[in-house]
Structure 1
Amino acid sequence: MTSRLIIDTDPGVDDAFAIALAALSDDVELLGVTTVFGNVPLANTTRNALRLLQLCGRDDVPVAAGAERPLVHPQAARAAHVHGSDGLSGRSAALPEPERDVEPGGAVRLLVSLLEAADGPVTIAPIGPLTNIALLLAAFPQVKDKIDRIVLMGGGVDRGNSTAGAEFNVWSDPEAARRVLVEEDVPRVMVPLDLTYRCAVDTAWLAKLAGTGPIGAALEALTPDYLASYRRSLGWDGIVLHDAVAVAEAISPGILRTESYPLEVDTTFGPGRGATLVDRRLPGLRGEGEGTVAPGAVQVAVDTDVAGIGEFVLGRLTR
């Protein structure tokens, strides 16, 4: 069965693997890619997305540039210290020059046109800050019926990475994240740090990827700065493919085990700003008036076959 998919992204090394995962999967109809500020500025994320699609031989996929800043408050910090100055370990220029330019009109216009034209439900996989998706749902609620699921990489249950409690994508625009995760009723799957860290891959995995051909070698070559960063946080030589884990669920529903929870996003200016507060209490123990899990609760990915995820991603990237 073919999955219709749109990726919203801020490439980013893990985004690069996620885009390639979708672009190289025969059972995915990749309708489009939209870009957003995040790991690096919008100009970089957009150029990276175009080059990655060109690497994968997918210049048939339209790309549109989206939000260059958060909805309300300035982005606190970018992630060049993790992804390199250009988002791809300083190696984006080694990727092929794109033969296709960005679509006119911007990301939200492209999202609306792709959803309206689709002949069936579409999954959206936001793997950067949620600004574009918040704008889409606020300004064009009529397209929600065309969205099958929003499968996003972001948030944390028991941890953060930008702060003790906040994951980078949510922390970059908490107001947008709250709009999507708390205020909307579109089916949503949140793939948090707690699970993606468990799906880290080692340098042997990267070596296998590099040995499979030009695309695998090019992807592995984007990882040195990312690998150096994760060597410090993991304590061993490996990388975390955060966004590829979310895209794996987007294209193969059920590869991650999820549980339904209400949640809140902290949009205050204290130390918890950007944290996702997942209410894992039994329904009867939630506060007065909260009752049972509401239909609008978010599916939170809590478990998977960790080795199987690595095999799934590697297999798709090396077909």
Structure 2
Amino acid sequence: MGTKLIIDTDPGVDDAFAIALAALSEDVDLLGVTTVYGNVPLAATTRNARRILALCKRDDVPVAPGAARPLVHPHPHEARYAHGADGLSGRAGVLPEPARDLEPVDAVTLLARLLEQTIEPITVAAIGPLTNIAALLAAHPRAAERVGRLVIMGGSLAHGNTTAAAEFNIWSDPEAAQRVLTGGEVPCVLVPMDLTHRCAVDSTWLARLASSGPVGAALDALTPDYLAHYREALGFDGMAVHDAVAVAEAIRPGILRTDTAPVQVECSHGPARGATLVDRRAAGVRASTDGAATGPFPEIAVDTDLDGLRAFLLERLGGEK
């Protein structure tokens, strides 16, 4: 088996695509899925994750629910405006019921257990708010040593999507994101929305997915509310698949081109709350002007072969060769 992977997620339509991408990839050993509040409340994100795994016939994968709110401050609102009332365009109920029960432990306990049970490094894809991951690092520092890479979908280099400054996942729990991205405990790859917007798929791509078979058709059927939101946001008939882009990097390291730079998260309560401040100045300039630390810094995904990435996603989700 190839990449050993755990996904921490808040499904969400693009999260559903990301889970399916891992679940359907033969070169991925999907060890577990943990859930967090975010696009919709925790009960809904947990249900959605379990049903996507059932759709992919992956009832072997354990699922544990995690944080229902941020570390410190209340969560202002979910992203129902993009994902629909149930997180899957109102269509969660048509997905198959899972055969496997929820794990009798919380997400942080499952994460720690899976990490401690495996000798070789594990990749963790964090594609929702980072509350569970921050709690893991605080409560189980030895488990952090088993994380080979933490691939995070979140942040932005230019402007936000939830506020003028902040991307949704980071804005949902800036304190957790600050802990994870600046603590230096695990190697981080940050996949910001600047790149994931550029990786958006169009109606032709979605039609090919829908015609690929039962799983592809079921995934496409989850997109109407999300697609309607992104037609307006993107200005064409298509949608962003943010989280699937991050999981693609988790599965195939290097499919995204990265730079390395310090990252800070704005945790004030002003208009910039949740902004990711990526210092892309030359290292010598940073050191000479503000005494910046030498790292380890996160890798920031900045580019990819767009057509190659879309082909990779379609191949894995739809079985295209």
Specify the TM-score bucket, using the shorter chain as the normaliser: over 0.9
Given that 2:137 and 2:185 are in contact with CA atoms closer than 8 Å, whether structure 1 keeps it comes out as no
Runs of 4+ in 1 over 6 A off after TM superposition: none
Deviation at 1:281, TM superposition (A): 1.1
The letter for the 1-side match of 2:212 is T
Distance 1:290 1:34 in 2: 38
Distance 2:180 2:294 in 1: 15
The letter for the 2-side match of 1:127 is I
Counterpart of 2:266 in structure 1 is 266
Deviation at 1:258, TM superposition (A): 0.4
Structure 2 counterpart SS, 1:96: coil
Given that 1:284 and 1:292 are in contact with CA atoms closer than 8 Å, whether structure 2 keeps it comes out as no
1:144 equivalent to 2:144? Answer yes
Structure 1 counterpart SS, 2:125: strand
Counterpart of 2:254 in structure 1 is 254
Counterpart of 2:21 in structure 1 is 21
The letter for the 2-side match of 1:269 is H
Distance 1:35 1:152 in 2: 14
1:105-120 to 2 correspondences below 5 Å: 105-120=105-120
Query: Which deviations, in whole Å up to 9, do the C-alpha atoms of 1:95-144 show, x marking residues without a partner?
Result: 00111111011100100110011131100000000000000001100112
Deviation at 1:293, TM superposition (A): 6.5
1:231-310 to 2 correspondences below 5 Å: 231-286=231-286, 288=288, 290-291=290-291, 294-310=294-310
The letter for the 2-side match of 1:118 is T
Counterpart of 2:60 in structure 1 is 60
The letter for the 2-side match of 1:73 is H
Given that 1:261 and 1:293 are in contact with CA atoms closer than 8 Å, whether structure 2 keeps it comes out as no
Given that 1:260 and 1:293 are in contact with CA atoms closer than 8 Å, whether structure 2 keeps it comes out as no
Distance 2:94 2:79 in 1: 20
The letter for the 2-side match of 1:253 is P
Counterpart of 2:91 in structure 1 is 91
Moved more, 161-170 or 288-297: 288-297
Identical counterparts, % of pairs: 64
Distance 2:82 2:104 in 1: 31
1:9 equivalent to 2:19? Answer no
Q: Which runs of 5+ in 1 are unaligned?
A: none
RMSD over aligned Cα atoms? 1.1
Distance 1:129 1:113 in 2: 21
The letter for the 2-side match of 1:193 is M
Structure 2 counterpart SS, 1:286: helix
Deviation at 1:288, TM superposition (A): 4.8
Given that 2:40 and 2:86 are in contact with CA atoms closer than 8 Å, whether structure 1 keeps it comes out as yes
Given that 1:283 and 1:291 are in contact with CA atoms closer than 8 Å, whether structure 2 keeps it comes out as no
Distance 1:227 1:3 in 2: 31
Given that 2:287 and 2:293 are in contact with CA atoms closer than 8 Å, whether structure 1 keeps it comes out as no
Q: Which runs of 5+ in 2 are unaligned?
A: none
Equivalent residue pairs, number: 319
Counterpart of 1:201 in structure 2 is 201
